[in-house]
Amino acid sequence: MYIIVAGGGKVGFHLAEELLNANHEVLVIERDPARARAITEELTDAVMSGDSCEATTLDLAGVARADLVAAVTGDDEDNLVICEIARNRGVPRTIARINNPKNELLFKRRGIETTISATQAILGQIEQKLPTHEMIPLLQLHSGLELVEVRLPETAPVAGRSVRDVLLPPESLIALIVDPGGVPRIPSGETRLNAGDVLVVVTRNESMGKLREALIGAIHGLDT
């Protein structure tokens, strides 16, 4: 079978590995060029850099002769659109990863097969109570203080800056930094913040919005 995997994150990468081992013809399409290069080292010529939501990208990938398209990006709206384009091009079978379990019904109505990863299902449940998953309240401390986990996205305004240069809301403190490799550090003023770092921050309840603004920037996906 010829299988196109849209999205080269962890899910897409491991899926492609398994499919290649099972002797299928596989092409992973990854939007982020750096990530595409990284997985090319493992998957060699089974990787293409491009945006799967563009019909031209899928056409270049030979979507018309694909037996299956698996849309496994981290965004449900992108996965929906990828499956719709694939079907428009005559692909007989499309499978979408859904990141938010609430979206399952819509995919079902559109006649698209879905799969939820366990991690994402749990995250989705937590997310229902949260604005976005970049900031997760961990613990209410006494006297109006709160412990929060903040994951720095690529677009974080503080990425590349040192802790002393970050303007936090009053009575807020970065208590711990866990780098993408999982190594925890207690930050000093010189410690540099990087995208992908997870910070554990103490802040006041009423400063959550300002903390988000300082560390993550404006909420993504805004309409202007």
Partner 1 sequence: MNVLIMGCGRVGARVATTLDEAGHTVTVMDLNPSSFRRLPPSFKGTQAVGNGMDGPALERAGIKEADAFIALTQGDNRNYFASQLAREVYGVKQVLCRTYDPLRAEIFSGLGLQIFSPTALGASVIVSMLLGDQAAKG
- Give the residues lining the site for partner 1 (CB under 8 A): 53-56, 75-78, 80-81, 84-85, 88, 102, 105-106, 109-110, 219, 221-224
Cβ 10 vs Cβ 18: under 8 Å: no
Cβ 211 vs Cβ 146: under 8 Å: no
* Token pair in block for residue 14: 């491991």
Minimum CB–partner distance for residue 220 and partner 1 (Å): 9
Minimum CB–partner distance for residue 66 and partner 1 (Å): 16
Q: Which is nearer to partner 1, 98 or 202 (CB)?
A: 98
Minimum CB–partner distance for residue 89 and partner 1 (Å): 9
**What is the CB neighbour count within 10 angstroms for residue 148?**
21
Q: Which is nearer to partner 1, 1 or 218 (CB)?
A: 218
Minimum CB–partner distance for residue 167 and partner 1 (Å): 21
The number of C-alpha atoms within 13 Å of 56 and in the hemisphere containing its C-beta is: 1
Q: Which is nearer to partner 1, 101 or 196 (CB)?
A: 101
**What's the rounded Cα separation, in Å, for the pair 162 and 139?**
26
Minimum CB–partner distance for residue 208 and partner 1 (Å): 16
Q: Which is nearer to partner 1, 69 or 85 (CB)?
A: 85
Position 134: which residue type? E
Position 35: which residue type? R
The number of C-alpha atoms within 13 Å of 193 and in the hemisphere containing its C-beta is: 28
CA angle (117 as vertex; 113, 123 as ends), nearest 5: 120
Q: Which is nearer to partner 1, 81 or 216 (CB)?
A: 81
Minimum CB–partner distance for residue 92 and partner 1 (Å): 17
Cβ 71 vs Cβ 52: under 8 Å: yes
**What's the rounded Cα separation, in Å, for the pair 168 and 125?**
29
Q: Which is nearer to partner 1, 82 or 199 (CB)?
A: 82
